[in-house]
Structure 1
Amino acid sequence: MKSIRIFLLAIAIMYLPVQTMAWGTNGHRICGQIADSYLTPKARAAIKAILGDESIAMTSNWADFIKSDPAYNYLSVWHYVDFDKRMTYPEMQAYLKADTTTDAYTKMNFLIGELKKKNLSKTSKVLYLRMLIHIVEDVHQPMHTAHTADKGGNDVKLTWNNNPQPTNLHSIWDSQLIDMQQLSFTEYVAWINHTTAKQRAELQAAPVSQWLFESSQLAEKIYADVEGKDKVSGYNYNFKFIGVLNQQLLKGGVRLAGVLNQLFG
């Protein structure tokens, strides 16, 4: 009976709508693999004690896969923090300071606080660590800090590269632009993961408010680029945005390593 449930869950995962994913499977694994490369030995050992043989790259997709189980529906709003208008950095800092809703920002703070507790159960440690890894990666996908009205670009319908099957702006940033590179996640990491110690220190020193501000500013540029359009050329879009996307993947991985090293290192 257990094997049947596992099989049915796997089938459900295969047919999840792409727009429900964040970064897509490869995007999350790329961020996770980058983070893994910058862990301290102490943090690596602590994470292994919690996750066992499940790598950061592989566990980073758990929060999307578990959407197949209705018992975890309450986690869906943990993946993003939408903004109704373009903000200056001081405006965003003020907004986040007053934020009491359930969103990526408030839940990151919650998860970090919980994982610092010495008496946390093993079950909670696994759940909270999986969610923290995923959310840190999520907020570096610009459409996870986008507009409430169009569900982070999910309602911005587009045709991608003359594909007859319609898609949306969110999905393009989750998966299609990454998949266009035709690289495995390890090949992708080998391509983009080149940082100096100084660069990593600067990225990891930035507060979460700056992460969200950077992503939301990019989201505004992404919206502006498709305004009035109903289709985009993959080749032209790749030329314009692949550098931005790769930078966000790299930032997500480096900053995730910083968070994990602070917690466990």
Structure 2
Amino acid sequence: MKFNFLKKIIIAAVIIYAPLQTMAWGDKGHRITGQIASSYLTPKARAAVKAILGNESIAMASTWADFIKSDSTYKYLSAWHYVDFDKPYNYPELQNFLKQDTSVDAYTKLQFMIGELKKKNLPQDKKLLYLRMVIHIVEDIHQPMHTAHTDDEGGNKFKVQWFNEPSNLHSVWDSKLIEYQNLSYTEYVAAINFTTPAQRTAWQKEPISKWLFDSKEIAENVYAGTKRDERLGYQYNFKYVATLNKQLVKAGVHLAGLLNQIFG
């Protein structure tokens, strides 16, 4: 009896924990970028976001799309989190690809939800769903492995070692690198959120296609600099932590700019 009870507890814990393993940026990475975005909202956008989210901050709303994966009702949202590519497009090629993109992916759903959120008569439940998803997806596509190769499912099938732990390239960029810095998400924001007005203006003029291209280029660099089954550790962190931090900051700045545009 005791053994069966213990077995049930272990199985339940695995079920609860499993969805957390597939989070993009991990909850900490999402909250970092959400907190950064909050610092750059216009008063009008801040009020509009508050009217939709209530007391839920952007940082906390940013993880909803991953936590809800455990609810099969929302399974249809799975493909909204990424755009994988079959070849290393240059920027004009990628722009052309996106113009013809009719798939259900991060790019097409972002375009759809931006249009919906600009509507004055959108029901509150749709506003809440779409705002949470826009926050999350903008953050996701700044994680390079969410714009990576189709054949290895964005690095999920690219096996590596993180120190002595079996892992994969996607997971390393989702959470391993961020967790390795050993900071809370608010401490992390305080450590990296330094941008000039000119820098923010330049970044916020960039179209979503440029966000995707920049992330894809980082992904290609990561692939080129990593061997399958390689043991990653101190040197890997040293090599990529600046890139990681810049992507976190850019995600927050881009998200703020987009929300300012939607609710401006």
Same fold, judged at TM 0.5 (above): yes
Q: CA deviation at 1:74?
A: 0.3
The question of 1:25 aligning with 2:36 is answered no
Sort the Cα spacing of 1:259 and 1:155 in 2 relative to 1 into closer, same or farther, 3 A: same
Partners of 1:224 and 1:21 lie apart in 2 by 24
Tell me what 2:225 maps to: 225
Partners of 2:40 and 2:157 lie apart in 1 by 37
Partners of 2:20 and 2:198 lie apart in 1 by 39
Equivalences for residues 107-118 of structure 1 within 5 A: 107-118=109-120
Q: CA deviation at 1:175?
A: 0.2
Q: CA deviation at 1:159?
A: 1.1
The question of 1:235 aligning with 2:234 is answered yes
Q: CA deviation at 1:10?
A: 9.4
Choose which of 84, 87, 90 in structure 1 pairs with 2:86.
Answer: 84
Tell me what 1:203 maps to: 203
Partners of 2:13 and 2:160 lie apart in 1 by 28
CA-based RMSD: 1.5
Partners of 2:54 and 2:252 lie apart in 1 by 20
Tell me what 1:143 maps to: 145
Q: Deviations over 1:44-81 (max 9, x none)?
A: 11111100000000000000000000000000000000
Tell me what 1:5 maps to: none
Tell me what 2:127 maps to: 125
Q: CA deviation at 1:14?
A: 2.9
Tell me what 2:5 maps to: none
The question of 1:246 aligning with 2:245 is answered yes
Q: CA deviation at 1:17?
A: 5.3
CA contact under 8 A between 2:160 and 2:232: conserved in structure 1?
no
Partners of 2:39 and 2:16 lie apart in 1 by 28
- Partner of 1:149: helix, strand, or coil? coil
Partners of 2:15 and 2:36 lie apart in 1 by 28
Partners of 1:238 and 1:162 lie apart in 2 by 15
Q: Which letter maps to 1:213?
A: F
Q: Which letter maps to 1:58?
A: M
Identical residues among aligned pairs (%)? 65
Moved over 4 A (4+): 9-13
CA contact under 8 A between 2:20 and 2:67: conserved in structure 1?
no
Tell me what 1:193 maps to: 193
TM-score normalised per structure 1: 0.93
CA contact under 8 A between 1:162 and 1:231: conserved in structure 2?
no
Q: In structure 2, list runs of 5 or more residues that go unmatched.
A: 1-11
Choose which of 54, 64, 77 in structure 2 pairs with 1:52.
Answer: 54
Q: In structure 1, list runs of 5 or more residues that go unmatched.
A: 1-8
The question of 1:169 aligning with 2:161 is answered no
Equivalences for residues 91-110 of structure 1 within 5 A: 91-110=93-112
Partners of 2:146 and 2:93 lie apart in 1 by 18
Report the number of matched residues: 254
- Partner of 2:225: helix, strand, or coil? helix
Q: CA deviation at 1:13?
A: 4.4
Sort the Cα spacing of 1:182 and 1:248 in 2 relative to 1 into closer, same or farther, 3 A: same
- Partner of 1:16: helix, strand, or coil? helix
Tell me what 2:17 maps to: 14
Q: Deviations over 1:230-249 (max 9, x none)?
A: 13332111110000000000
Q: CA deviation at 1:176?
A: 0.3
